[in-house]
């Protein structure tokens, strides 16, 4: 299998050089826009590309307001802050995620609690969430609290794993029943839609990342999607040191963040988002080729849930056993094709090992059986 897979991937990417998991692609207006910022000297926190980029993301995702930030972690931090998460609160998320999801809430003084992911989406499982709440929480007149410590359960943060949208309708019902805010970690899911609506626009706030390995990149960057113009204006205020507009006075009305995306990065983003539809089409076609390749094998190719249109940010396969997986990881990487196990579960990391958690049976299965395979857009891929 390894040899077939390695040659299949090398043929696709038409190269004998090392094939990374996800590389950025700059074939449009990137150079021209970035150069404009240098020539104008507006490379920093002021400039027309930031607003331009925010408007383009609003249009693409159909959200009321988008506020650009320095990175995806900062976007998530802001989203949680805006949703009202405060020190000592509990925030429920999935154990299978990138560490930034937890770090963002941890650095606000909140504590994560972990629930399992669903076989349908590989993201936060609505049934596991309800079971966790029934076992550990009670609903008071101040909202949901942990039975044991009376800590407030302020938010649920599902993450759209590898770009595949979680079961949002079911999650929203559980969140409403328990009066808990929904904040989406949509870092990986720009270009992914749940029943036709863009991910990150269902909760009160959503956060997207434009890191170098994501679907499109601004070098480093992120954006907060906001449900209303009012919450958007407040989000912009908080990410820009909460400075009250004045021609020369410095006055700040709350402890804000300096999370602005520089104009230099936004320029790259404007060029990248122009190419986004092309990238998504290309990546979805690549996923189809992988699915056909693995169709009669002992490996299960991870496909989008029925209700969703996924960006297929990172393609993934589930191996028949951990032993088969270890061998495939070793053989592919030694032969110039990058593959990677998924993240170690959050409760295994030293800073999160004592956090409250539900059953994590499916997360553990995925942790020991899944690998990600090369997923960059493929040059000259026809038939898409
Ligand atoms: C990439 C990513 C982030 C963080 O984004 P940065 O831009 O790297 O800070 C957060 N959560 C998830 C799930 C991610 O994949």
CATH number at residue 169: 3.40.640.10
Per-residue pLDDT for 383 more than 60?
Answer: no
In the reported structure, the alpha carbon of residue 298 is separated from the centroid of ligand 1 by a whole-number distance in angstroms of 31
Atom of ligand 1 nearest to the CA of 188: 15
Atom of ligand 1 nearest to the CA of 98: 13
Q: Is 19 helix (H, G, I), strand (E, B) or coil?
A: strand
Q: 188: Cβ below 6 Å to ligand 1?
A: yes
The percent of residues in the chain predicted with pLDDT above 70, rounded, is: 99
What value does the CA radius of gyration of the chain take, rounded to a whole number of Å?
21
- Tokens 């990546």, residue located: 283
Confidence of residue 382 (pLDDT cuts 50, 70, 90): low
Per-residue pLDDT for 249 more than 90?
Answer: yes
Indicate whether 36 belongs to any domain.
yes
Same domain, 315 and 231: no
* Closest to 101 measured CA to CA, from 207, 219, 240: 207
Per-residue pLDDT for 381 more than 80?
Answer: no
Indicate whether 378 belongs to any domain.
no
Per-residue pLDDT for 1 more than 90?
Answer: no
- pLDDT, averaged across the chain: 97
Q: Is 10 helix (H, G, I), strand (E, B) or coil?
A: helix
Q: What is the pLDDT of residues 272-323, one digit of tens each?
A: 999 999 999 999 999 999 999 999 999 999 999 999 999 999 999 999 999 9
Q: 185: Cβ below 6 Å to ligand 1?
A: yes
Q: Which of 240, 274, 308 is the last residue of a domain?
A: 274
Confidence of residue 23 (pLDDT cuts 50, 70, 90): very high
Q: Which of 252, 274, 296 is the last residue of a domain?
A: 274
Same domain, 136 and 250: yes
Integer Cα distance of 365 and 318 in angstroms: 9
The percent of residues in the chain predicted with pLDDT above 90, rounded, is: 96
Same domain, 257 and 306: no
Same domain, 268 and 162: yes
Q: 72: Cβ below 6 Å to ligand 1?
A: yes
CATH of the domain at 11: 3.90.1150.10
Evaluate whether 123 touches 166 at the Cβ level (below 8 Å): yes
Question: Which residue's CA lies nearest to atom 2 of ligand 1?
Answer: 187
In the reported structure, the alpha carbon of residue 77 is separated from the centroid of ligand 1 by a whole-number distance in angstroms of 11
Instruction: Report the domain count for the chain.
Output: 2
Evaluate whether 289 touches 73 at the Cβ level (below 8 Å): no
Q: What is the pLDDT of residues 9-21, one digit of tens each?
A: 999 999 989 999 9
The stretch 323-345 carries a mean pLDDT of 97
Indicate whether 383 belongs to any domain.
no
* DSSP percent split of the chain into helix, strand, coil, nearest 5: 40, 20, 40
Q: 189: Cβ below 6 Å to ligand 1?
A: no
Q: Which of 249, 274, 299 is the last residue of a domain?
A: 274
The DSSP output letter for 16 is: S
Please report the beta strands in the chain, taking only residues with DSSP state E, as ranges in sequence order: 65-69, 90-94, 111-115, 137-140, 143-146, 153-157, 181-185, 193-194, 197-198, 205-209, 222-226, 300-301, 308-309, 315-318, 340-341, 370-373
Per-residue pLDDT for 54 more than 70?
Answer: yes
Same domain, 65 and 198: yes
310 CB-near residues (< 8 Å, 6+ apart): 163, 164, 165, 189, 192, 284, 287, 304
Q: 159: Cβ below 6 Å to ligand 1?
A: yes
Integer Cα distance of 82 and 204 in angstroms: 9
Indicate whether 78 belongs to any domain.
yes
In the reported structure, the alpha carbon of residue 98 is separated from the centroid of ligand 1 by a whole-number distance in angstroms of 7
Indicate whether 381 belongs to any domain.
no
The stretch 48-67 carries a mean pLDDT of 98
Integer Cα distance of 214 and 349 in angstroms: 24
Integer Cα distance of 129 and 117 in angstroms: 9
Same domain, 239 and 290: no
The stretch 146-163 carries a mean pLDDT of 98
Atom of ligand 1 nearest to the CA of 220: 7
Write phi, then psi, for 68 (nearest 5 degrees): -75, 145
Integer Cα distance of 195 and 173 in angstroms: 16
Question: How far is the CA of 245 from the CAs of 113, 131, 240, 261, in angstroms?
Answer: 39, 47, 11, 19
Same domain, 175 and 250: yes
DSSP 194-234: ETTEETTSSSSEEEEE--TTSSS--SS-EEEEESSHHHHHH
Same domain, 10 and 140: no
Same domain, 16 and 73: no
* Closest to 101 measured CA to CA, from 156, 152, 50: 156
Same domain, 128 and 201: yes
Q: 209: Cβ below 6 Å to ligand 1?
A: yes
* Closest to 96 measured CA to CA, from 72, 78, 121, 133: 121
Question: Which residue's CA lies nearest to atom 7 of ligand 1?
Answer: 72
Query: b/e for 336-373, b at 16 or more Cβ within 10 A?
Result: ebbbbbbbebbbeeeebeebbbbebebbebbbebbbbb
Same domain, 269 and 306: no
Indicate whether 379 belongs to any domain.
no
Same domain, 256 and 360: no
Question: What range defines the domain where residue 242 resides?
Answer: 30-274
**What does the block give as tokens for 80?**
């949680």
Indicate whether 382 belongs to any domain.
no
pLDDT value, residue 380? 77
Q: 73: Cβ below 6 Å to ligand 1?
A: yes
Question: What crossing angle do the helices spanning 126-136 and 168-178 adopt, rounded to 10°?
Answer: 20
Q: 98: Cβ below 6 Å to ligand 1?
A: yes
pLDDT value, residue 384? 47
- pTM across the whole model: 0.97
Indicate whether 60 belongs to any domain.
yes
């Amino acid at each position: 299998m390894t040899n077939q897979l390695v040659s299949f991937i090398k043929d696709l990417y038409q190269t004998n050089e090392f094939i990374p998991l996800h590389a950025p692609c700059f074939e449009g207006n990137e150079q021209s826009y970035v150069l404009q910022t240098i020539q104008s000297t507006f490379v920093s926190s002021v400039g027309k590309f930031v607003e331009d980029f925010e408007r383009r993301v609003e249009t693409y995702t159909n959200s009321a307001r988008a506020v650009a930030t320095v990175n995806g972690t900062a976007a998530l931090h802001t989203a949680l802050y805006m949703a009202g998460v405060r020190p000592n609160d509990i925030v429920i998320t999935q154990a299978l995620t990138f560490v930034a999801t937890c770090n963002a809430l941890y650095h606000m003084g909140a504590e994560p609690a972990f629930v399992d992911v669903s076989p349908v989406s590989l993201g936060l499982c609505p049934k596991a969430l309800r079971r966790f709440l029934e076992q550990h929480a009670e609903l008071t007149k101040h909202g949901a609290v942990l039975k044991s410590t009376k800590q407030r359960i302020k938010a649920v943060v599902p993450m759209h794993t590898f770009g595949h949208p979680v079961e949002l309708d079911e999650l929203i019902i559980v969140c409403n029943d328990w009066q808990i805010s929904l904040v989406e970690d949509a870092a990986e899911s720009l270009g992914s839609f749940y029943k036709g609506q863009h991910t990150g626009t269902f909760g009160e706030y959503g956060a997207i990342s434009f890191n170098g390995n994501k679907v499109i990149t601004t070098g480093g960057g992120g954006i907060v999607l906001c449900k209303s113009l009012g919450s958007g204006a407040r989000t912009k205020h908080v990410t820009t040191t909460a400075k009250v507009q004045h021609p020369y006075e410095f006055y700040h009305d709350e402890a804000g963040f300096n999370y602005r995306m520089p104009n230099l990065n936004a320029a790259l983003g404007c060029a990248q988002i122009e190419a986004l539809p092309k990238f998504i089409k290309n990546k979805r076609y690549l996923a189809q080729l992988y699915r056909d390749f693995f169709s009669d094998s002992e490996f299960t190719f991870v496909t989008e849930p029925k209700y969703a249109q996924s960006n297929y940010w990172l393609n993934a396969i589930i191996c028949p056993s951990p032993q088969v997986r270890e061998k495939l990881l070793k053989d592919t990487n030694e032969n110039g094709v990058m593959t990677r196990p998924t993240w170690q579960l959050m409760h295994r990391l030293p800073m999160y090992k004592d956090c409250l958690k539900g059953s994590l049976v499916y997360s553990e299965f995925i942790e020991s059986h899944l690998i990600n395979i090369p997923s960059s857009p493929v040059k000259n891929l026809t038939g898409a």
